[in-house]
Structures are given as C-alpha cells and as structure tokens.
Structure 1
Amino acid sequence: MTSSPMTLRFADSPSATDRAAALPAPAPRRASRAFLRNPTALSGLAILGLVAAAALAAPFAYPDDPLGMVAQPFLWPGQDPAYPLGTDSLGRDVAAGIAHGARVSLLVGFAAAATGLAVGVLVGATAGYAGGRIDRALGRVIALFQTSPAFILLVVLVAIAQPSIPAITLAIGATSWPIVARLTRAEFRSLREKDFVTAARGLGYGPVRIVFAEILPNALPPIVVTASVMVASGILMESALSFRGLGDPNVVSWGSMIGSGREVLRSAWYLTAIPGVAIVLAVLALNLVGDGLNDALNPRLAGEA
C-alpha cells in the first residue's frame, strides 16, 4: 500500500513530520462518510447491533440459568407465549439460549480477534521493520504456523488446556495471529523506506516511535478490515468446537445448541435451525461491516473523495 498524498506532504518539512503520529485529519472523516453512505455496511452494522443488543439484554430478560429446565420439552416456536422460540429436548428455553449464546459468541469472537491482532501486529511489525535475519527468522515462524491446520491445532490446544471460555479464546487467538502477522509484515516492508519514515529517522526518532507512531497508522486500514473477518472466524471456530462437544460445558453457546439438537433433527428441526440462523446472521453482519470498511478505507476511493 502506498502512502497517501497527505502523508507525503508530512515528509516535506520537519515540523509536519512531528504530526505524522496520526493519520491526516480529513482521512478519518472521509472514511466515516464513505462507510455511513454504504447501505451494505449499514445493513451489517444494524444486524450486528441487534445481536449485541440481545447479548446485553440477556442477563435482564433471562436472569435464570439458560441451562435450566423450565418447561415441557419440545414446545414449538409460538406454541407457548412464555417461550416464543420453544423449548428443547430437556425443556430449556431456546430464546434464553440464543440470547446468552450471543454473549458467548461475541465475547469469544472479539477477545480472540484482539489476542490475534496483538500478537500478529507485534510479530509482523518487528519482522517488517527490522528486516534481515530477524525478518527471515520470524517469516519462517509465521509460515510454520500457517502451514499447520488451524482447526486441528485449535482442537489440540483446547483439549490440552481443558474447555473453558478463556482457554478457547486464547487458543483461537493463537491460531489466527499468523494472518495478521503476514499482512503487517508486508505493509511494514513497503512503508519502512518511505519519505516520512526517512524524515522521522532524521529527526532522531527511535525505532519504537517510528513503528507505532509513524508506520502503524499508515498500515492500519487493511489490518482493521482483517480484524472484522477474524471476529467472524472466531465465532465460527467457537461454534464448531461447541458443536463437537469441546466448548465450555458451563455456558450455553449457539454451537452447543446445534450439537444437542442434531439428535432430533427430523422431529424438531427448529432446535438446530434457530441457532444456525443466529450464527449466519452474526457472521454475515461482520462480513458486511468488513466489506464496508474495505471500501471506506480504500486509498483509491479516499483519493477520489
């Protein structure tokens, strides 16, 4: 990714370089306007808002244990107004499970993405800026993790650590960081010799300040877009683990709901369909938001604005 014209003007004078720690002021405003004008992105944001609202309202709307048996088993959706989405084979409220499952999915997705981003950006920035032997060594480490089957590694890590929300979150983050590291490494390698970085070195800035205050803000757009995809991948991975019985047994999640409902798929298909739709909507929303961010942060579109 090449530097924007505003970034190149920063390098023309030392006083302007002092302000290069952040992106140019108009750029965030342009990106925000472009994002808010994108109907696809707004649709994704609206769906994601509904999922987040359900997660936030879960403790108040359903204060009891969502794993508790509260009614007759196999109540179909709409059959009893007290249980609008019905009950499962053990008499548990499906609506309570969906709401509390949203909390688990969003928590794991965002926390795992944050973990993967932190490790990936640190490794990628170090490799891309340092170059030489450090770059080659870290590049081999990144390639080693990328060639390993991510889900198999995830299953092994969770099985060793015992299934729990913190263990699942860290395991997903540990398998997702190479994508960010490779992207960050490529961005830093293309930006480290730009004029504004050379000017920062001439002013006596240290490597840490150059990496985090000068190069990283210019490398953020593709990283931000990747972060939305990582959240969606984290939700899918957690659901897959719970579906296979490797989720936290003390909490309800969408994946575990699908796993328990598959045994009665022919007679009570709604037990798998409802949590399945919830997963589809959450992942779809995150992908739509990611597409909107990609369009808004596209340097070509920014230059045309």
Structure 2
Amino acid sequence: MSAQTAGPETLGHLSDEPSNEGPEKKAKGITGKSPMRIAMGRLVRDKIAVVCAAVTFFFVIVAVFAGPICALFNVSTETVLPSQFLDTLGGGLPLKGPPLHGFDPDHPFGIAPQSATDNLAYWVYGARTSLEISATATLFSSVFGILMGLVAGYMGGIVDKTISFVIDFFLTIPFLLAALVIAPIINQRFNASDNYPRIQFWALIVVLAGFGWMGVARLIRGEVLSLREREFVQAARVIGMPTSRILMKELLPNLTAPIVVSVSLALPAFVAAEAGFAFLGIGVTSGISWGQTINKATPFFESYPLYLWEPMIGIVALVLALNLLGDAVRDALDPKTRR
C-alpha cells in the first residue's frame, strides 16, 4: 500500500512545482497593447492613483464650475452690510457660522472676520486661480523646455553648448529672489492700469514658466542624446527626412513617458509656488487666491482657526494628490517596475 500511495504523492509534489505558464500568460495579456494602454492598465489597478485622480478631478470641477457652484449655494464674493455679521467690539469676529457659532446654511464655510466675505466663495474661486495659473505655467514651461531639449540634444555642437549655457545660467538665478525683484517693478509700472489684476496674473505665469522650463529641457536633452543614435533615426537621416520631421515624428513620440512624468510633477510645484507668492504679497494680490487668504487669516489663527485651515487644507490636498498621482504615472510608464 505504501508503494501504491507513493506514486500519487510523488506526482502531487511534481504538480505543485512552479510552472512557466505565468510569464507566458502575462505576455499574452499584453500582446497587441501599446505602452500607453499598458500604463493606463497599471494606473487603474493602483488604488492610490485612482483616489488621487478622483481628488484632482474634484478640484478641476470646482475650478471650472466656480460660478455655478457659488450660485448653487447662493454665496458670492461680494460683501453686503458686514456690520450685521461681525462683532465690531470683539476684534471683528463673525457673529454667525462655524466654528464659533452653529452651522449657517447661508454660509456653509463661515464668513471671514473684519470683511464678512463668504469663505466658500473665496475658497472656490481660489481653487480656480490656483489651477488656472499652475496649469498655464506648466503648459508654457513644458512646451518651451521640450523644444529647447529637442533642438539641443539632436543638433549637438555649438547649438547644444549655447542652449546648455542658457539653461545653466537660468539655474544659477535664485527663483524667489528674481520674483521679489520683478514684483515691485510690475507693481510700480502697472498699478494704475484698469487691467492690473490680469497683468499680475500673466506676470506670475511668465515668472513661473520662465524659471520652470530648465528641468524639462535637461531631461529631454538627455533622452534625445541617446535616441538620436538609434537605428530608426539614422534611417530617417539616410533617406533625407527633414530635421523638423525627425524631431516631431520620430523623436517626440518616443519621449511621451518623460514628458508626462515631468508635467505631472511640475503642476503641483507650481500650485505650491503660486500660493507661496500670494502669501508673500508678490503673486496675485488684486484677485482671489488661496495664498492671499492665508496671509489675511494668519492673525486670526487662535481666535478663528477655520479661516486659515480652509485654504490650507485645499492646498495640501491638491498638492499631495498631484504629487502621488505623478509618482504613480512615473511608475506606470516605467517598464522595469513590477506593479
């Protein structure tokens, strides 16, 4: 009996050994899929990435539909008779709304001390300002950095040396110091203009994009230096393909992964920078901004903390979601990761 049962046991042990069908099934699962489809499949399976994408989408919806959202809650950025809502003898603190008083449906986020402006309206429009500035600055800096990196990496020689010198020169300029110098000049030159808020808006975008394109350019240049020696680029040169077509049709599609990663990591950096500049008084000072609200709320940290925590939570949630989403995108686009 022992001899008869030995056979099945031995076969059972052999059947329990790991087989080589796993990699084959995985290979069949990704056959015919583009790298972007494989990356999207990885992102969908990443729970953290899905949550961060949902948070980012929420802020985008808030920014795009700021007006309808304020109309839905019947709130506005205009102040009507602030003396009715403020304790003028108690430091200008609100007489209604959280956290000092009960919930007020007319002002779900409370009202600001001393000015009686609605916190929800300022929070919603602050999200619009932050995302609008950061997205526009990311677009401009990425496009300019990609073009400079493509030209420098492909052309080489004196062109590469000149562009690399310009990149190194801009990297030596302190970003914050340059912004502190530029802001008073713009303020003195255009403060009497009727379009001063829009001038501040575009000036901040120029500053952010002007000092944010160098990292993208260096990344793209390094990738192009390796790609330009590949067979498909050499073949395009041999058949006489124009340089512009080689850059746009041959090299640029192979740079999708580093471009997506650089954009996903630059956006949260610009969100934080915009809020920081507004807090320092060198950003958007004539409009509505999270950083400007934080600057006004700092003196009321102990007596009315809600005024400070609302924009702070918005900035932290948005920047954290964008950073984690950027890390997830980078991992999903990296073929060496095992996610």
1:164 aligned counterpart, secondary structure: helix
Q: CA deviation at 1:172?
A: 0.7
CA deviation profile, 1:85-128 (whole Å, cap 9, x unmatched): 11111101111111111110110111000010011111111111
Q: 2:79 maps to what in 1?
A: 68
- Is residue 295 of structure 1 aligned with residue 338 of structure 2? no
Counterpart code for 1:31: A
Q: 1:111 maps to what in 2?
A: 136
Q: 2:91 maps to what in 1?
A: none
Counterpart code for 2:108: P
1:86 aligned counterpart, secondary structure: coil
Classify 1:104/1:263 alpha carbon distance in 2 versus 1 (closer, same or farther; 3 Å): same
Counterpart code for 2:186: A
Larger Rg: 2
Query: What is the CA–CA distance in structure 2 between the aligned matches of 1:169 and 1:161, rounded to whole Å?
Result: 13
Classify 1:156/1:198 alpha carbon distance in 2 versus 1 (closer, same or farther; 3 Å): same
1:85 aligned counterpart, secondary structure: coil
Q: CA deviation at 1:38?
A: 1.2
Q: 2:154 maps to what in 1?
A: 129
Q: CA deviation at 1:191?
A: 0.9
Q: CA deviation at 1:159?
A: 3.3
Q: 1:19 maps to what in 2?
A: none
Q: 1:16 maps to what in 2?
A: none
Classify 1:67/1:189 alpha carbon distance in 2 versus 1 (closer, same or farther; 3 Å): farther
Runs of 5+ in structure 1 lacking a partner? 1-23
User: Which residue of 217, 222, 225 maps to 2:253?
Assistant: 217
**How many residues in Structure 1 have an aligned counterpart in Structure 2?**
280
Query: What is the CA–CA distance in structure 2 between the aligned matches of 1:203 and 1:36, rounded to whole Å?
Result: 41
Classify 1:224/1:67 alpha carbon distance in 2 versus 1 (closer, same or farther; 3 Å): farther
The percentage of aligned residue pairs carrying the same residue is 32
Q: 2:294 maps to what in 1?
A: 258
Q: CA deviation at 1:182?
A: 0.9
Q: 1:93 maps to what in 2?
A: 118
CA deviation profile, 1:20-58 (whole Å, cap 9, x unmatched): xxxx96212111111111111111101111111222231
Bigger shift: residues 61-70 or 182-191: 61-70
Does the Cα contact within 8 Å between 1:110 and 1:231 map onto a contact in 2?
A: yes
Bigger shift: residues 149-158 or 133-142: 149-158
Runs of 5+ in structure 2 lacking a partner? 1-31, 87-93, 188-198
- Is residue 54 of structure 1 aligned with residue 62 of structure 2? yes
2:98 aligned counterpart, secondary structure: coil
Classify 1:177/1:158 alpha carbon distance in 2 versus 1 (closer, same or farther; 3 Å): farther
- Is residue 44 of structure 1 aligned with residue 52 of structure 2? yes
Q: CA deviation at 1:228?
A: 1.4
Q: 1:8 maps to what in 2?
A: none
